[in-house]
């Protein structure tokens, strides 16, 4: 059921997709990183490995493929993947007819207080990928991938028209005075400008607290502020407190003329004149 898919997180991804289609007319919907759960890498616990699913048998992907078909929306769905004895932080791109176009596995895996992802996830082995959907060719990176320009450039070189990043970023439990919101946005705005390509980032929001096995407690205040940047790196839409449909669901949308952007990208010659040597 839809309730089963969202029982561990305050948001309801199924409802969110339906509202994005009904209220905003969205054709492509990007969900935040690991949005079907609380952000479990905040703690070290072997119990969380039970959340992982195989690509073939995932209940999450099965339900979201059905939803994509019903709403005729392209979905970018983050999930905890298990393959054999390996575990990955993955996304599946589902086309508007419900067909699964494949997966991308997160390449860059962070490890730090509150973001203990190396405990759970192996580095991805898919390489950076572009998915040809009904509405656009999209490249997808996951959270920490967004800090690396080669990720964006690799997807642009493969023919991406949009760059999408599901994300989970917020405060640092070990350093409360560190606030990286503007840094986080600026690096992705740079990817948009450098590749003359719109960038979309969907981030978690709200406070999540864990009590740890040693009796300690940590909290992360996720920034929210999901945004859409145009091909010049200017933010054209951003989630604020006024953009919510329900207490835990927040969406923004924007329309791009991808043919016009492609002409602009060609005329600038940024791929013609690049010198990787």
53, 143, 189, 208: the catalytic one is 143
Backbone phi, psi, residue 37, to 5°: -140, 160
Q: In what order do the strands lie in the sheet with 28-30?
A: 28-30, 74-83, 86-94, 100-105
33, 53, 81, 117: the catalytic one is 33
Question: Do 20 and 251 touch, CB atoms closer than 8 A?
Answer: yes
Residue (of 198, 142, 139) closest to 167 by Cα position: 142
Q: How far is CA 171 from CA 1, 47, 56, 150, 230, in A?
A: 33, 25, 35, 26, 26
Helix (H, G, I), strand (E, B) or coil at 277: coil
Is 106 designated active site?
yes
> What are the respective helix, strand and coil percentages of the chain, to the nearest 5?
30, 30, 40
Q: How far apart are CA 225 and CA 203, in angstroms?
A: 7
Find the DSSP H helices in 103-180. 149-157
35, 43, 92, 106: the catalytic one is 106
From start to end of 168-252, where are the E strands?
199-203, 205-211, 217-223, 227-229, 235-238, 244-246, 249-250
Backbone phi, psi, residue 23, to 5°: -90, -30
Residue 171 CA neighbour count, 13 Å, CB half = 14
Q: Which residues are catalytic?
A: 33, 106, 143
């Amino acid at each position: 059921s839809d309730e089963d898919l969202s029982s561990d997180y305050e948001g309801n991804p199924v409802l969110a997709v339906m509202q994005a289609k009904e209220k905003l007319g969205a054709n492509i919907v990007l969900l935040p990183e690991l949005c079907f759960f609380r952000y479990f890498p905040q703690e070290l616990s072997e119990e969380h490995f039970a959340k992982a699913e195989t690509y073939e048998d995932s209940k999450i992907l099965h339900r979201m493929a059905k939803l994509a078909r019903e709403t005729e929306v392209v979905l970018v769905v983050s999930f905890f993947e298990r393959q054999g004895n390996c575990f990955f932080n993955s996304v599946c791109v589902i086309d508007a007819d419900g067909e699964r176009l494949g997966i991308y596995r997160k390449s860059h895996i962070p490890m730090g207080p509150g973001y203990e992802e190396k405990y759970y996830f192996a580095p991805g082995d898919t390489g950076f990928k572009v998915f040809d959907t009904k509405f656009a060719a999209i490249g997808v990176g996951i959270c920490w991938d967004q800090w690396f320009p080669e990720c964006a450039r690799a997807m642009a070189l493969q023919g991406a028209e949009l760059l999408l990043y599901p994300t989970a970023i917020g405060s640092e439990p070990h350093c409360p005075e560190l606030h990286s919101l503007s840094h986080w946005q600026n690096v992705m705005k740079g990817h948009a400008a450098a590749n003359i390509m719109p960038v979309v980032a969907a981030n978690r929001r709200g406070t999540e607290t864990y009590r740890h096995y040693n009796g300690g407690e940590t909290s992360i205040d996720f920034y929210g502020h999901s945004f859409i940047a145009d091909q010049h790196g200017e933010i054209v839409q951003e989630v604020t407190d006024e953009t919510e449909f329900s207490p835990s669901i927040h969406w923004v949308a924007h329309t791009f003329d991808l043919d016009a952007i492609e002409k602009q990208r060609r005329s600038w010659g940024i791929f013609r004149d690049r010198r990787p040597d």
